[in-house]
A and B are shown apart, each in its own frame.
Chain A
Amino acid sequence: MRHSMTALGALALLAASTSLASAEDTIKLGASVQLTGPSANTGRYYRDAYQMMVDKINAAGGVKVGDKSYKLQLDILDNQSDVNLSVRQYVQLVSSDKVNFLLGPFASNFALNDSSVAEKYQVPMVQGGGASTEIYTRGYKYIFGTLPPADDYYASTIDMLQKLDPAPKTVALVAADDSFDVSVAKGTRKLLKEAGMTVAIDQAFRDGAGEFASILSQIKSAGVDAILWSGHETDALNFIRQMKSLNVDPKTFYSFTVGVPTADFRSALGGDANYAFGMTSWLPDESLKDKWYGDASQFAKAYSDKYGYQPDYHAASGAADLETFVYAIEKAGSLDPKAVRDAIAKSDFDSLYAHIKYGENGQIVLPQIVVQIQDGKLVPVYTDKILNKPQYPIPAWGKRG
């Protein structure tokens, strides 16, 4: 059986190829991120945000533990958008590369699997790439996250709608059938019920289908006041285009979970993007004060100067994960995983992303900022109070200038 022996040899070779000495005065942070493959486009936000934050913190003198100063070292591996590979890489980071702490990958399904590694080895992981509530309902102790829960995405929007005149009474809820958007729809249904609004149309569509004619004609004949939509960006673009071509006019309002904050969305739709409501957990605003960059707008500027593209909430969330570690390590005054874990749980500080404070389950509590496109510009409208006057109700397609 020469074949089996060859295979065994190959296995042994692999075992030998992974080893890295850890230096005395560095703190090693590890992450496996989608740098290639289908999710690489969003994965880059995390790599770039982690790297930029680490460079900045090191330039400012590093992290103080007691009276000793440590430099941060970042180990990023490419999981090629493959979940099984990413789990193996996290095990490698923890067991053979001996990283002190873990940063997260992008996307909920990755975070769900990878966080099990953090829990098994009891190494704290702070991740800014997965919003699914499932990550936090398993009773894990070592996983924290800076994306707000999917169930609450429409909370601030519905809150705002009740304060507007006329407040919508009937709603069409349209959501994609992937796990994230199903969570959004589930949470939104509950929120709408509590707010006393009627869900007149409740439709799921196949993620990426791009075809909404039948859903839109139902909405049209039901004559709803508002449309709340949840899905991915290309579908959002198609939905708006088809709304216009089929002349579907909800009486007062429509909003999307994604797309609206991005520049691509506005350039793809041109004038048709106007009046659309949306949401984001982060805007590069000067009101978000930060220890390293001063404020979020300066972070955004430094980021786009360095990498040539605008950061969005993914990048800011990734940066906040690093800030959390620095905060917690300095608070704990030690590199002991358990002590740092306890300090993370007690986090309470301002970052360029948001005020960082984790809930009992490890997930951040953070309202979405309601945004609207007004005359081609993105305007923040509402968080827990009106920030700028919304253009409301949205005029019908035929009555726009």
Chain B
Amino acid sequence: MRPLPLAIAAVVVVLLVFVPWLASDVMMQFAIDALLLAVLAQAWNILGGFTGYVSFGNSVFYGLGTYGAAIAMAQFHLPFWVGILLGIVLAVLCALLIGIPILRLRGPYFAIATLGLAAAMGAIVSNLPIAGSNIGLVLPLIRADTMFYELSLGLLVLCTLTVLWVSKSRFGMGLVAIREDEDAAGTMGINTTVFKIVALVLSALFTAVAGSIHAYWISFIDPASAFDPTLNVRMVIMAVFGGPGTVFGPLVGSFILSAIYEYLASSISTAAALLFGIVIVLAVIFMPRGLANMIGGVRARGPRYFLQNIRENRL
């Protein structure tokens, strides 16, 4: 990464810190949602983007983070930070427990194995009295959108710095090597299992904290909202739209898609879901490798970049 983009990114972050003093309440709601979604996309990127292991089960970590905060705060009246820690512990344990067996699966088989995770955990949680069974848990109400915003922003910065470190480190090179050719990576002395599990744990950690923040902010959770299957799809789309395996791609992808969704939902409500779908279809046809790749591609080849993608898609 050249120094200039980093400097600009730092300036943007500093500017974003002051948003709560300028933005309206509605804007704050949108911003917190968008920041948390960006964290999910960025966290997904650590495993999905760098190793190419596409997980459709990350919302299981989100749900555990949600429940960690809710159980600590609603059942035991502990402070919020304890809830975040509990969420992290639950999610990391879960990542280790499921990562060790299923990360041995490759390609589509891994994706299929992750598909059922969120639904299974939802079913388990809805039978636990400590988690409020299927009725859900009510957290104390607090009117502190500024705090939630700054927490979300902080988390996103931390998550992005982690991805930046990953992209430059030996660890990250190992992950990319796994993506390109796992057998070759193994031959080169990379302990692929450990690398993949560490990537999954990092991903689970950030996802869980996003879940905890969301739980306290929204103040009511139930299994259906915590283990929402559509969330899996959304984070994958956002990361892939922006450019998987890059540092800023998932951020840009999630901000742009959040903004488009919000704009469509408030201006032409009935057709919003349809148009959102069209945006994604077009993106896959014209820029299957994401925004980050498109910027470079268009600079190098102009409109021919899109033609080439269409040809590669055999349309």
Residues of A within 8 A of B83 (CB): none
Pair A95/B26 contact, Cβ less than 8 Å: yes
Take A3-B291, A14-B27, A179-B222 as given contacts and tell me if A88 and B33 are in contact as well, using a CB distance cutoff of 8 Å.
Answer: yes
Pair B24/A15 contact, Cβ less than 8 Å: yes
Scan A94-136; emit 1 where CB is below 8 A from any B CB, else 0: 1110000000000001001100100110000000000010100
Complex CA–CA separation, A7 to B126 (angstroms): 38
Which of B54-62, B89-97, B128-136 lies on the face that meets chain A? B128-136
Pair B266/A6 contact, Cβ less than 8 Å: no
Complex CA–CA separation, A96 to B143 (angstroms): 17
How many chain-A residues does the 8 Å CB contact rule pick out? 46
Residues of B within 8 A of A80 (CB): 265, 269, 272-273
A77 on the B face (CB < 8 A): yes
Residues of B within 8 A of A88 (CB): 26, 29-30, 33, 262
A234 on the B face (CB < 8 A): no
Contact of B25 among A6, A77, A95, A140 (CB under 8 A): A95
Pair B24/A96 contact, Cβ less than 8 Å: yes
Pair B255/A1 contact, Cβ less than 8 Å: no
Complex CA–CA separation, A96 to B266 (angstroms): 13
Pair A10/B259 contact, Cβ less than 8 Å: yes
Give the contacts of B262-283 with A (CB-CB under 8 A).
262-263, 265-267, 269-270, 272-273
Complex CA–CA separation, A88 to B28 (angstroms): 9
A214 on the B face (CB < 8 A): no
Complex CA–CA separation, A393 to B29 (angstroms): 56
Scan A1-37; emit 1 where CB is below 8 A from any B CB, else 0: 1011111101101110110000000000000000111
B220 on the A face (CB < 8 A): yes
Pair B252/A4 contact, Cβ less than 8 Å: yes
Pair B218/A4 contact, Cβ less than 8 Å: no
Contact of B259 among A14, A35, A96 (CB under 8 A): A14
Scan A62-81; emit 1 where CB is below 8 A from any B CB, else 0: 00000000000000011010
Pair A109/B248 contact, Cβ less than 8 Å: no
A182 on the B face (CB < 8 A): yes
Which 6 A-B pairs rank lowest in CB-CB distance, beginning with the nearest? A7-B255, A95-B25, A1-B8, A3-B252, A10-B259, A78-B269
B141 on the A face (CB < 8 A): yes
Scan B203-239; emit 1 where CB is below 8 A from any A CB, else 0: 0000000000000001110101100000000000000
Listed in ascending order, the chain A residues whose CB lies under 8 Å from chain B are 1, 3-8, 10-11, 13-15, 17-18, 35-37, 77-78, 80, 83-85, 87-88, 91-92, 94-96, 109, 112-113, 116, 119-120, 132, 134, 137-138, 140, 177-179, 182-183
Pair A7/B273 contact, Cβ less than 8 Å: no
CB distance from B250 to the nearest CB of A (A): 11
Complex CA–CA separation, A87 to B265 (angstroms): 13
Pair A15/B269 contact, Cβ less than 8 Å: no
Residues of B within 8 A of A182 (CB): 133-135
CB distance from A207 to the nearest CB of B (A): 9
- Sample of 20 further A-B pairs with CB below 8 A, known A4-B252, A11-B30: A4-B12, A5-B12, A7-B251, A7-B259, A8-B12, A15-B27, A36-B272, A77-B269, A78-B265, A78-B270, A83-B225, A88-B33, A94-B25, A109-B222, A116-B219, A116-B220, A134-B135, A138-B138, A177-B126, A183-B135
Residues of B within 8 A of A8 (CB): 12, 15-16
Scan B25-42; emit 1 where CB is below 8 A from any A CB, else 0: 111111101100000000
Pair A14/B30 contact, Cβ less than 8 Å: yes
Take A15-B24, A116-B219 as given contacts and tell me if A35 and B269 are in contact as well, using a CB distance cutoff of 8 Å.
Answer: yes
B307 on the A face (CB < 8 A): no
CB distance from B144 to the nearest CB of A (A): 10
B-side interface size class: 35 or more
Complex CA–CA separation, A249 to B296 (angstroms): 72
CB distance from A4 to the nearest CB of B (A): 4
Pair A96/B225 contact, Cβ less than 8 Å: no
Complex CA–CA separation, A13 to B267 (angstroms): 13
Closest residue of B by beta carbon distance from A19: B24
B9 on the A face (CB < 8 A): yes
Residues of B within 8 A of A183 (CB): 135
Pair A113/B220 contact, Cβ less than 8 Å: yes
B108 on the A face (CB < 8 A): no
Complex CA–CA separation, A87 to B28 (angstroms): 12
Pair B26/A18 contact, Cβ less than 8 Å: yes
B5 on the A face (CB < 8 A): yes
Provide a sorted-by-A list of 6 A–B residue pairs whose CB atoms are within 8 angstroms: A10-B256, A84-B218, A87-B29, A91-B29, A109-B220, A109-B222
Pair B5/A1 contact, Cβ less than 8 Å: yes
CB distance from B238 to the nearest CB of A (A): 12
Contact of A1 among B141, B248, B262 (CB under 8 A): B248
**Which of B9, B29, B262 has its CB near the most chain A CB atoms (within 10 A)?**
B29
Pair A36/B29 contact, Cβ less than 8 Å: no
Residues of A within 8 A of B25 (CB): 91, 94-96
Residues of A within 8 A of B255 (CB): 4, 7, 10-11
Closest residue of B by beta carbon distance from A82: B265
Complex CA–CA separation, A335 to B143 (angstroms): 24
Give the contacts of B185-219 with A (CB-CB under 8 A).
218-219
**Which of A3, A78, A140, A183 has its CB near the most chain B CB atoms (within 10 A)?**
A3
Pair B136/A179 contact, Cβ less than 8 Å: yes
Residues of A within 8 A of B126 (CB): 177
Complex CA–CA separation, A15 to B266 (angstroms): 12
